[in-house]
Amino acid sequence: MPRYALKIEYHGAAFAGWQRQSGQLSVQEAVETALRKLEPDAPGIAAAGRTDAGVHATGQVAHCDLAKDWDPFRLSEALNWHLKPNRVAILTAATVPDDFHARFSAVERRYLFRLLSRRAPATHEAGLVWQVQHPLDTDAMRKGAAHLVGRHDFTTFRSAMCQSASPVKTLDEISVEAIPVPHGVEYRFRLRARSFLHNQVRSIVGTLERVGAGAWGPRDVAGALAAASRAACGPVAPPQGLYLTSVGYPEDPFDR
């Protein structure tokens, strides 16, 4: 059976997350339902990351096996037709080798978290950012974030429901950017690693927000990390500000 990689964008608000769940609409179910409009016996698909309820994606990657030899462009167009009215889009599709796996072949994942600081409620960005009303200290958040870069035991920033075999991960990069917007500032946190623990990004951002607000000092982040205890973590940021933006592979499956 030919194997195809799919680059997927979705608005997470209406979904119970990526993974198929009984009685709740998931992104996986929406895509698999569209695939079975094309081939009723199409097997299930696998994705690079299992995003939580409310989390968005601009560069999720999944793979599927189909009986027919599809032209990748026609496959993406057909899937987008059948995905309506769900807020899910196949950005592009590509034929890949049989040993390509969207999850296990990945060598890096990149996430973006958007945090809006302003008094007036978000209108156009509602559901797409985490909004706070108080100002934040960008330099302090950068100093706090610096303690997290590298290989560490991230137990403090790991959900109790995390199924990863080990809490030890390598965070390759974390940056904090402040962008002026009308009557406020949008803070963009970008994180890059081979893989992440469940709720790791949201836990880190929630903790850094406390640093930016002045409730924590930058060195308190190092102390929380060293504690290796979930109780030492700051509040977990809500899901609506989080985006899976890209997945990296040894060879880009879409650049062929």
The 3-state secondary structure of 33-50, one letter per residue: HHHHHHCCCCCCCEECCC
DSSP state for residue 11 in the 8-state scheme: -
CATH code of the domain in which 227 resides: 3.30.70.660
Same-domain check for residues 117 and 239: yes
Give CA separation, 70 vs 62, 77, 151, 253, in Å: 16, 11, 42, 16
In a domain, 150, yes or no: yes
In a domain, 252, yes or no: no
The pLDDT assigned to 8 comes to 98
The pLDDT assigned to 1 comes to 84
Range of the domain at 124: 108-245
- Which residues have a catalytic role annotated? 52
Q: Which of 61, 84, 105 is the last residue of a domain?
A: 105
Same-domain check for residues 147 and 64: no
Regions of the chain where pLDDT drops below 50: none
Domain count, the chain: 2
Q: Which of 105, 132, 160 is the last residue of a domain?
A: 105
- 134 Cβ contact partners less than 8 Å away, ≥ 6 residues apart: 117, 213
Same-domain check for residues 15 and 94: yes
Give me the residue label for tokens 């109780």: 231
Q: What is the pTM of this model?
A: 0.96
Q: What gap in Å lies between CA 226 and CA 233, rounded to an integer? A: 11
The pLDDT assigned to 249 comes to 98
Same-domain check for residues 148 and 165: yes
The answer to whether 196 and 164 have CB atoms below 8 angstroms apart is no
The pLDDT assigned to 38 comes to 96
Residue type, 16: A
